[in-house]
């Protein structure tokens, strides 16, 4: 489940990320459940927010298809390509219709580096947003921020998807 607007430094998430990254053997398959965490700065609210999703990654050769699990407040998809330890692709998100951004559609590019163990990839996203100085969507500005995916679980069974679809962050 999505936990939008989570402030940075959440110890529960940090613990999960630390636990997931201690794997000693390199991963050969990246399919499974991962924790997606990205940050963005809201000019209107003058604050940085962290957005969390459990996502399902499906690997087909060098291609990784990423999608938020059912029940996410803001559906997210990513199309990524592995080239050595570099992960490059695009992302797309539809914000919650009843949330602060009222169902806005966002998309952009992303580039990350896969850690040698294969348990974590981290990098930066790039996307467009309204220029607050202009006050409307006709004038856009380029935004960027950190994004990471941390491996959680290799299973993509319906039982596992259901388990992580119902997870909430407290």
Q: Residue 4 — pLDDT band, cuts 50, 70, 90?
A: very low
- Which residues in the chain belong to E strands, given as ranges? 32-42, 47-60, 63-68, 76-83, 86-94, 105-114, 120-131, 136-153
Q: How many domains does the chain divide into?
A: 1
Cβ(38)–Cβ(147) below 8 Å: yes
pLDDT at 21 over 50: no
pTM for the model:
0.81
Q: Is 4 part of any domain?
A: no
* Distance between start and end Cα atoms, the chain: 12
Q: Is 5 part of any domain?
A: no
Question: What is the span of the domain harbouring residue 60?
Answer: 11-165
Q: What is the pLDDT of residues 92-135, one digit of tens each?
A: 999 888 888 888 889 999 999 999 989 999 999 999 876 556 55
CATH number for the domain spanning 136: value is 2.40.160
The CB-side HSE value for 166 (13 A sphere, CA atoms) comes to 5
pLDDT at 19 over 80: no
Task: Find, among 59, 40, 99, the residue nearest to 75 by Cα.
Answer: 99
């Amino acid at each position: 489940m999505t936990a939008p607007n989570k402030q940075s430094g959440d110890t529960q998430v940090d613990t999960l990320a630390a636990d997931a990254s201690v794997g000693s053997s390199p991963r050969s398959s990246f399919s499974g459940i991962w924790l997606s965490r990205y940050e963005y700065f809201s000019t209107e609210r003058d604050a940085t927010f962290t957005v969390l999703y459990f996502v399902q990654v499906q690997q087909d050769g060098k291609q990784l298809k990423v999608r938020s699990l059912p029940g996410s407040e803001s559906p997210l998809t990513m199309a990524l390509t592995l080239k050595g330890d570099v992960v490059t692709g695009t992302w797309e998100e539809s914000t919650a219709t009843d949330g602060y951004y009222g169902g806005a559609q966002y998309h952009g590019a992303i580039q990350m580096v896969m850690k040698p163990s294969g348990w974590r990839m981290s990098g930066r996203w790039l996307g467009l947003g309204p220029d607050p100085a202009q006050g409307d969507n006709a004038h856009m500005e380029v935004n960027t921020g950190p994004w990471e995916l941390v491996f959680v679980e290799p299973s993509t069974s319906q039982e596992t998807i259901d388990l992580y679809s119902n997870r909430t962050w407290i």
